[in-house]
Structures are given as C-alpha cells and as structure tokens.
Amino acid sequence: MILQEKYNDYQIILASNSPRRKQFLTDLGLTFTINPANVNEAYPSHLKGKDIALYIAQQKASVFNNLQANELVITCDTIVWIDGVALGKPENSADAKQMLQQLSGKTHEVISAVCIKSNQKEQLFYDVTKVSFNTLNPSDIAYYVETFQPFDKAGSYGIQEWIGLVGIEKINGSYTNVVGMPMEKLYKELMKW
C-alpha cells in the first residue's frame, strides 16, 4: 500500500477511543497507537457549524505538545448540526430519544473535523454530509436507544446501525464522514503531507 509505505517510519497516534475511527485507520493499512485526547469539549458560544468541530479537533491536538520528529497525531471531532444547534453525544437515554425526535423527518448536517499534527506543522480540514431521516415513530426510537445505546455518538445515532437501515432516507456526501471520520479527505491529506 502506498500510504503504508509512506508512513512506515512514523509513529502515528490516533487520539480517539472510537472503535469506528480505529477500524478506518486499520483498513487503510496504517500502524498506529491509541492515545485519547481527554479535553473539555466545550466551545465558545459564538462558534457555529463547522467552526465548532474544527475548534474541538484542534483542542484535542493541542494536548500533544512534545511530539518527536517521527510522531504524527490524528484527532477528530464530529457534530450533528440541525436548526442552528450542535448536537453532541447524549448524556442519557432521555437525551438520546429527544435528539432522535429532533432529527426525525428532517435533514441535518454531519460535520467532522480532523487535525493532523507533527512537531513541524498542523493541518485542519473538515467535511459536511447532509443526512435525511424518515419520520421515526417513538417506539422505533425507544427500541434503538435501548438496544444500541448510542451514547458515544454525536446526534445519538450510528448510520451503520439498525437506525441507519430503517430510518435514513438519503445522504448527500461522504458516508465515512457520518460514521465519524471523512476518510476520503484524510487519505488525500496524508498523501500530501
């Protein structure tokens, strides 16, 4: 693999506990370690849409101040943007159900921002995918939340899970972006790096 050969001498750090992001990097053929960036994901109230995700991705990267010459850290943040409001991860079942009710029958944006950082430079980029949900009935929402417990997912859903099979009418943009990392853009950025 071209990318694998290019980064053979690098120590890549994925600053995320997300099993989906881990699988994506594994599928790219990269060798990496996991070192989650535990930061407060609060953001300034004046930020909107993509700027929220970019801010948080950069905050996660800022934890890694003493990178060695051969180290590269990758951070990512995903938000759901609907009606001028950012939906992050739900706090509990009631919060998850409320978020899904808010998404029901509407189109929202999934915005993922990525930061690639070395001791020499930092690159920030993002992707936006429009996702349209069918109208979800309360029993479907309750079943999904209770069965799949989507508490680690922005907007309280995983497109790759049951709710994506039965509830999503269409998407416009990158599928991997909705899962949690815009892999097409990440691949291009890593090839250019």
Beta bridge partners of 14: 34, 74
pLDDT value at position 158?
A: 96
Active site residues: 77
Q: What is the DSSP letter of 156?
A: G
Q: Is pLDDT larger for residue 47 or for residue 8?
A: 47
The predicted-structure confidence for 117-159, as pLDDT tens digits, reads as follows 999 999 999 999 999 999 999 999 999 999 999 999 999 999 9
Give the chain's domains with CATH numbers. 2-192 (3.90.950.10)
Mean pLDDT of 53-81: 96
Could you tell me the pTM of the whole model?
Answer: 0.94
Q: What pLDDT is stored for residue 6 in this prediction?
A: 84
Residues 6+ apart with CB under 8 A from 171: 129, 130, 131, 132, 159, 178
- The pLDDT-based confidence of 16 (bands split at 50, 70, 90) is very high
User: Which pLDDT band holds residue 1 (cuts at 50, 70, 90)?
Assistant: low
Mean pLDDT of the chain: 95
- Amino acid 4: pLDDT: 78
Please name every residue paired with 73 in a beta bridge, in sequence order, or none if there are none.
Answer: 13, 117
